[in-house]
Each structure stands twice: as C-alpha cells, then as structure tokens.
Amino acid sequence: MKNLLFLIPAVAIFSCQTKKQNAETDAVADTLRYEKESRLRNVKQLTWGGNNAEAYWSFDGQSLVFQSDFSDWNVSCDQIFSMKIADAREGAKPTMLSTGQGRTTCSYFLPGDSLIVYGSTHLANEACPENPPRSVDGKYVWPIYEGYDIFVANLNGEIRTQLTKTPGYDAEATVSPKGDRIIFTSMRTGDLELYTMNLDGSDVVQLTDELGYDGGAFFSPDGSKIIWRASRPKSEEEINVYKNLLDQGLVQPTEMELFVANADGSDARQITELGNANWAPFFTPSGNKIIFSSNHNSQRGFPFNLFTVNLDGTELEQVTFDETFDSFPMFSPDGKYLVWASNRFNGGNRDTNLFVAEWVD
C-alpha cells in the first residue's frame, strides 16, 4: 500500500503535465485558424512555400498527393508530389511522382495506394506550356491546355498507362470510393463535359451535354452520386464570350454554380444559386452535405472561403474566415480530417500552402 501511495502523486503530476502539454499543443494549432472557425481543430501546416493545391488523400488516409510549383523543389510549373502526413515539416521535400516535363494537374490515388492518376501535357511538349494572360477584357481566365491527357503512374514516378488519347483537353480525374470508376473532364465533343471510365480507360461514358464548363467532379462517399462545378452561359452574349474563349483554350471561372447528379449522370440538378464563383465541391462524410469554396460574398473577386450546404441548397454555413483564399477541401476516408489549400498566415506573399485539421461535426 505504501508503494501505491507513493505512485499517486507521480501519476497526478504526469496527468497535469499531459493536460498542460495538450493545451499548449492546441494553442499552437489555434494560431493557424481564425476564431470563428469552430468546425476546425488542431490545424497543422503541411507545406511552406510555392503554390500547393488539390491535395487528395490516399485510400488508407496516411498520405496526400498534390500539385506544386515550388521552385525550391526544382520545378518551373506544376508537378505532382506525394507526402505522408506524419512526415510533413518545414524544409522537407516530398516525393515527385510526375515526369518533371510539361505541366500537370489533378492527381488522385487509385485503390491500393500504389498507383496514382493525373493529367499531364508532357507528350505534347516536354517544356512547361506558356502561361496565358491572367485576364481577358478585365475578367480572370483559366487555361485549358489541349495537350493534357490522363496517365497512371506508380509511386516511383514511372508511367504505367495512358488512359486518354483523344485530341484536346482531358484532365481533372478523380476516383470513386468504390474503386471502380474514374470521372474526368474532356473537350472531345468540342465542349467541356464530364465523363466516366473504368480504371483501365475502357467503357467511357458521357455524363453531361449542356453548353458550359463542367469540371472538378467528385463521387459521394458511397459512390452513388457526383458533385461538380459548372458554368451555364444563357444569353447570346454569354454564349459568344464562352465559345470565343474556349477557341483560345481559355475559360472564365468567375460565374460557376454547383450541380449534383447520380453517378451515371441522371437526375442532374443545380444546388447553389449564390452568384460569383462556387467551385471545388466535395461531399461531407455523411454524404448529405457539400463543402466547397466560394467568393459569393465578395465584391472584388476575393476572399474565397469554405462553406457547407445541404444537397437541396439549404443551410449554408461558412466554415473558414480567411481574408484571401481557402479552397480545394477534401475529407479523409474516415471523415475525421479535412485537408485544404490556403493563403492564411503566409507573411503577405502569394504562397498557397496545404493545411490539415480535425473536423468538428
């Protein structure tokens, strides 16, 4: 009994120290989030420099694959990198999985986590394609490089398969949690439409056929639905502007809303009518809500912040409160963590870094 009594103070001291250490850890994490961000806890920074975006989880929830143009990693335009969450620290260099040639975009793990799928222009030209003007007639534009095709590579960066071979833009590939289908955006019909295909590139099925940019699609957690961003030019002037820009390999992403449908494209319906740019949607773990990036409250184009909304467009809730940019949210497979890209706390420069946080439901 004497020995047990001797241990009790030590246990109490250890318990207090642990609580103090946890509080200190939480305080450090809280410096990376804003006071109103009640849905986020224990925010951790994962990259430090360059433009890092579209970070997507492995099926086992241990790793991320993402694109970056960070010059310290010896790249001159976006290339694909992978990191284990546990290894992220300032100064660490993640593993580059793309060829280092051309420009890349939109990478995603395939089931088993030994292969990734991503878009690349390296077959069209080994050099980085030229950057187009940032704006046309005073409005911001995105490039749609016609040299993009979709490839499968292993974690050593070796390309295993070319999935698309049609002329024009093929990119923005993501994979169903069921592990059976890839959804992607293609220009093969002359407009930017959504398609699905098997993991080997076979059985290509067109899902959308309405004029406008359909892209950035993701499957729901059970694989039964899809969510995506779309522009829908209606007036003659809007249609002419859209088509003229598309002929130049450009799109204007300043007016986009979110759409949801069954995984085969049926029962498609618009779920936001917020105005400005609503994009980068992803299903919440329950599958009943969408998290997305929006500047609908902005008068000057930014800030972009994260919001959630029900599938019927109700119960809009703001999640992040940054003054510049928060986007590309994705939940971990177990639904416990959120990863996203942000300009927060970057010292006033233009660096976009990756962050991860516990999700508070």
- What 3-state class would DSSP assign to 67? strand
Give the DSSP per-residue string, 278-347: EEEEEE-TTSSEEEEEE-TT-SSS--BEEEEEETTS---EE----SSBEEEEEE-TTSSEEEEEE-TTST
d(CA 81, CA 98): 7
**Whole-number pLDDT of residue 136:** 84
**pLDDT given for residue 20 in this prediction:** 42
Query: CB of 279 within 8 A of CB of 197?
Result: no
Collapsing DSSP states into helix, strand and coil, what is residue 75?
Answer: coil
- Residue 214: its pLDDT value, please? 98
Question: Which candidate, 241, 70, 251, 257, places its Cα nearest to that of 145?
Answer: 251
Residue 258: its pLDDT value, please?
A: 98
Query: Is the peptide bond preceding residue 303 cis, with omega within 30 degrees of 0?
Result: yes
Bridging pattern class, strands 181-186 and 353-359: unpaired
Q: What does the angle CA 339 – CA 133 – CA 324 come to, to the nearest 5 degrees?
A: 35
Exposure string of 298-329, with b = 16+ CB inside 10 Å and e = fewer, is eeeeebbbbbbbebebeeeeebbebeebbbbb
pTM > 0.95: no
Nearest to 248 by CA among 187, 193, 308: 187
Residue length, the chain? 361
Distances (CA, A) of 259 to 31, 268, 279: 35, 7, 10
Residue in 346, 348, 360, 357 with CA at minimum distance from that of residue 52: 346
pLDDT of residue 304: 97
CA pair distance 27, 7, nearest whole angstrom: 30
Residue 195, C-beta contacts closer than 8 angstroms, at least 6 positions apart: 183, 184, 185, 186, 188, 204, 205, 206, 207
User: What is the pLDDT at residue 177?
Assistant: 97
- 187 alpha carbon, distance to own chain's centre: 21
> What's the rounded Cα separation, in Å, for the pair 80 and 33?
27
Distance, CA of 316 to CA of 272 (rounded, Å): 10
- DSSP string computed for 230-296: E----SHHHHHHHHHHHHTTEE-TTSBEEEEEETTS-S-EE-----SBEEEEEE-TTSSEEEEEE-T
Q: Please give the pLDDT value at position 84.
A: 97
Please list the pLDDT of the chain residue by residue as tens digits (361 residues). Answer: 333 333 333 333 333 444 444 444 444 547 999 999 999 999 999 999 999 999 999 999 999 999 999 999 999 999 999 999 999 999 999 999 999 999 999 999 999 999 999 999 999 999 999 988 888 888 889 999 999 999 999 999 999 999 999 999 999 999 999 999 999 999 999 999 999 999 999 999 999 999 999 999 999 999 999 999 999 999 999 999 999 999 999 999 999 999 999 999 999 999 999 999 999 999 999 999 999 999 999 888 889 999 999 999 999 999 999 999 999 999 999 999 999 999 999 988 899 999 999 999 9
| Of 316, 302, 308, residue with least CA distance to 344 | 302
Rounded (10°) CA dihedral 323, 324, 326, 327 = 150
Domain at 48-332, CATH from 3.20.20.140, 2.120.10.30, 1.10.3720.10, 1.10.1740.10: 2.120.10.30
Check residue 11 and give its pLDDT: 33
First-residue to last-residue Cα distance in the chain: 45
